[in-house]
Amino acid sequence: MLQTNRKGDWLEIIIPDEWKNKSVEDLFHQIWNCPRKLTHLFRMGKKVWLNGKPANWREPFGTGAKLSLQLFSENMPDIPATYLDVPVLYEDDHLLIFNKPPFITTHPNNPSMEKNTLLNAAAFHMLANGETGEVRHIHRLDRDTSGAIVFAKHSFAGALLDQLLEKRKIKRTYVAIVHGMITGKNGTFSKPIGRDRHHPTRRRVSPTGQEALTHYQVIKRDLASQLTYVKCWLETGRTHQIRVHFSDAGHPLAGDLLYGGKAIFPRQALHAAKLEFTHPFTEERIECYAPFLDSPPIFKDIDLYRL
């Protein structure tokens, strides 16, 4: 775990032994894989200092050096701030993890018209805590899906979290309830997913679609209701991925009318129950569990902490 300290607009990192022969350039390119545009902005804007002076980007750090990055700005959010009662699962100077209630959209498609999305709530949360900056979501959850979702509080955190997501280093574990009795204990869906040309929002399994990998494990079976509770985790993040894969397999999610489920719940029975990743700045292992929020409950007798 790295030792870091926030000092106003700057983040100070104490260089560990394993970085002593690295340079700022190595850190940005090899370790953080920072996008070129953002790297250029930090280089030209002299937003990186080493031991109290502007850094020489090619000079090795040495042990115990103090690297400072100007990460935090006083820019006001470019989206209206709206109070919504959304539980916070984890928060620090760089990121925010909400437990998203169902029936809330992750972000507005029309920012001037939609002001009750989770992104609006994130902007309000930051302002209420005296923080500014352009907060943004790292991934999405469908409107009717609940659970853990990550927001970046500044552009550099956003870039590094995007890299983790792209490299499949953010593990997202879901709980779903599907119709029918799934045979076997576990399995993987690997069929590609594309748009449904006959419906504006629906997706479908398609040989010309994008790669999609969904792993699942049966948690329990409800014989009386003919429902199976499953744990799912994703290798990719396609729109409606879990919903499409289970529907294609003949086990649509309960409550998911768009993909053939029956209206036994007020929404599709899908909850993002757990998030795991290594913090991009501190290298701390982050593990968040998102309690179920439905009242009356949809997911019954499930121990999140054993997923």
Reading the block at residue 205, the tokens are 């399994």
| 3-state SS, residue 173 | strand
Task: Tell me if 293 sits within 8 A of 146, measured CB to CB.
Answer: yes
- Catalytically active residues are 142
- The Cα-based distances of 84 to 37, 57, 98, 123 in angstroms read 34, 43, 11, 11
Reading the block at residue 187, the tokens are 């399995």
Pairing of β 48-50 and β 171-179: unpaired
**Strands of 66-70's sheet, edge to edge?**
3-7, 10-14, 66-70, 48-50, 53-54
Reading the block at residue 144, the tokens are 């009717």
Task: Tell me if 178 sits within 8 A of 214, measured CB to CB.
Answer: no
Q: Kind and range of the H or E element at 36?
A: helix 36-44
Provide φ and ψ at 129, rounded to 5°: -95, 10
Distance CA 234, CA 216 (A): 9
